[in-house]
Amino acid sequence: MMEIPLILREEDSTNRLLLANILSKHLIDIDNLNTVLSINSPESIKSAVSSGRGFAFLPNIVVKQDLRRGDLKKIHIKGFDSKFNYYLAYRKNYEFTGYEKIFKKFITSSKRCFCY
């Protein structure tokens, strides 16, 4: 894995920090990887991967359409768990409006999907 040309998000991006955390659990330092590009846009990363510049770790939602069309391929890495939690924070004793209740139900549902 250390020789694979990787295209990563820019330093201090949430995506890169999460990746660094996952890799560290496997005793891999993200700074020791063969990073050929560091880019701040998922679309630019996908473009670079499509043009053969390297490989990338991207969230499924970012590449879902590309995978469906066959523009990109996914590689499953055994033992690589990239799940992480998001939290919805709000003021204590706050009363949600109708739309906010709908949003809260949507965001906390395990059956949500943003695109097909």
State pLDDT tens for residues 12-57: 898 899 899 889 988 999 999 999 999 999 999 999 999 999 999 8
Residue 15: domain span: 6-69
Query: Has residue 112 been placed in a domain?
Result: no
| H or E, element range at 8 | strand 6-9
CA distances 109 to 25, 54, 57, 106, 113, Å, are: 28, 35, 25, 5, 10
Query: Has residue 96 been placed in a domain?
Result: no
User: How many whole angstroms separate alpha carbon 107 and alpha carbon 86?
Assistant: 9
> In this predicted structure, what is the pLDDT of residue 109?
73
The DSSP code sequence of 14-54 is HHHHHHHHHHHTTT--GGGS-EEEEES-HHHHHHHHHTTS-
Number of compact structural domains in the chain = 1
57-62 mean pLDDT? 86
Query: Has residue 88 been placed in a domain?
Result: no
